[in-house]
Amino acid sequence: MASLPILDFSRFTATASRDDFLADLRAAARDYGFFYLKGHDVSPDLQRQLIAVSNAFFALPEADKLAIEMVNSPHFRGYTRAGREITRGQQDWREQIDIGSELPVAEVPADAPWMRLQGPNLWPEHLPEFRTTLLQWQSELTRVAIRLLRAFALALGQDADVFAPIYRAIPSEHLKVIRYPGQTDDRSSQGVGAHKDSGFLTLLLQDAIGGLQVEAEDGTWIDATPIEGTFIINIGEILELASNGYLRATVHRVISPPAGRDRLSIAYFFGADLNATVPLLNLAPDLAAQAKGPASDPLNPLFRDVGENALKGRLRSHPDVAERHYAEHLAKKVG
């Protein structure tokens, strides 16, 4: 049974092992688009605190969670009940809270409707430590993601800061705290349906239950079995577009845990400025020869305009938010 590679980020910090790390990163990214990262320096105490407040959030009375339901937020922030989010037309059996960069509502020019994604988060009123811990997690993971993105740039033979112009102004820092309930007989076992992530990179902290699966090149599914002390890293559509498909945004899904168990995961999606356009990197001939071009999936066309790609994904995943807040936008698209 195939398994995903494990990379040690401390080898990137040490000059003597840096080039070997970059070669391993290039191989893992190209062959799987997914890997485990150990040797990151995120404090284990902060991780424990994050897991504790996340469990406390899901244990809140239902009324407290429904008070901050995402359907109330034109910025796609807040709580989503299990079964409300849709992937590839099917219900996802997970409950979650979505948190984004904590920024004020922006002006929304007619030619940049995605600027409506920017706005305040919705926080649980009776659990103040949830907000402080999540914001701390967000800034820690942004730091790790930027270091990792610099490593990706070097692995592709580019200047370390080649992507900085498209994330430096307003990076997109999206967090999802997710609980997957155990399987029951009366619904599907789709925790989240098969999909690609849209940003640069995703950094995932998962508990010990398992259920995340990664699609291999031959169409089989590889289990991303939990490994204590690691994050799971995967590539999003921005890196696929920028590298002309040398790097792949790999398709993945989550199968619901066995009956009577539930699974906790915290996904952090690092993306670009909503107003940026994804550049096409100039790859050296040996890498360019292996670039397959971005995947063309008629069900999921990729857009170089970061904001357009991001808004497309959110509207499709959350039809209730789309209907309440984006009816006019959708009507214009169809009409």
Q: Does 95 bind Fe ion (CB under 5 A)?
A: no
Structure tokens at 15: 């000059």
- List residues bridging with 271 in a β-sheet: 172
Helices (H), the chain: 10-13, 15-31, 44-58, 62-66, 128-155, 164-167, 237-242, 285-288, 306-317, 319-325, 327-334
Cβ atoms of 30 and 290 closer than 8 Å: yes
Q: Does 265 bind ligand AKG (CB under 6 A)?
A: yes
Question: How many CB atoms are located within 10 Å of the residue 184 CB?
Answer: 12
Size of the site for ligand AKG (CB under 6 A): 11
Q: Does 98 bind ligand AKG (CB under 6 A)?
A: no
| Half-sphere exposure in the Cβ direction for 69 (13 Å, CA) | 14
204, interface contact from Fe ion, ligand AKG, none, CB < 5-8 Å by kind: ligand AKG
Stretch that binds ligand AKG, among 115-123, 150-158, 204-212, 275-283 (CB under 6 A): 204-212
Sequence-distant (6+) residues with CB within 8 A of 197 are 234, 235, 236, 237, 249, 269
Q: Which is nearer to Fe ion, 197 or 237 (CB)?
A: 197
Q: Does 254 bind ligand AKG (CB under 6 A)?
A: yes
Q: Does 190 bind ligand AKG (CB under 6 A)?
A: no
| Half-sphere exposure in the Cβ direction for 37 (13 Å, CA) | 28
Q: Does 175 bind ligand AKG (CB under 6 A)?
A: no
Residue type, 304: R
Structure tokens at 210: 């398992």
Size of the site for Fe ion (CB under 5 A): 1
CB of 203 to ligand AKG, least distance (A): 11
**Interactions with Fe ion, residue window 248-307 (CB under 5 A):** none
CB of 204 to ligand AKG, least distance (A): 6
Sequence-distant (6+) residues with CB within 8 A of 270 are 141, 142, 145, 146, 149, 167, 171, 172, 173, 199, 200, 201, 202, 203
Q: Does 54 bind ligand AKG (CB under 6 A)?
A: no
Q: Does 267 bind ligand AKG (CB under 6 A)?
A: yes
CB of 201 to Fe ion, least distance (A): 11
Q: Does 235 bind ligand AKG (CB under 6 A)?
A: no
317, interface contact from ligand AKG, Fe ion, none, CB < 5-8 Å by kind: none
Q: Which of 24, 98, 140, 197 binds ligand AKG (CB under 6 A)?
A: 197
Residue type, 201: L
312, interface contact from ligand AKG, Fe ion, none, CB < 5-8 Å by kind: none
Helices (H), 121-198: 128-155, 164-167
Q: Which of 97, 146, 205, 212 binds ligand AKG (CB under 6 A)?
A: 212
Q: How far is CA 118 from the centre of its chain?
A: 17
Q: Which is nearer to ligand AKG, 212 or 222 (CB)?
A: 212
3-state secondary structure of 206: strand
Q: Which of 7, 99, 178, 310 binds ligand AKG (CB under 6 A)?
A: 178
Helix (H) or strand (E) holding 172: strand 172-181
Q: Which is nearer to Fe ion, 140 or 197 (CB)?
A: 197
Whole-Å CA distances, 87 to 75, 92, 190, 269:
19, 7, 9, 17
CB of 16 to Fe ion, least distance (A): 35
Q: Does 317 bind ligand AKG (CB under 6 A)?
A: no
> Could you give the string, one character per residue 197-226, with x where binding to Fe ion holds by CB under 5 A and - elsewhere?
x-----------------------------
| Residues near Fe ion, by CB under 5 A | 197
| Residues near ligand AKG, by CB under 6 A | 176, 178, 192, 197, 204, 206, 212, 252, 254, 265, 267
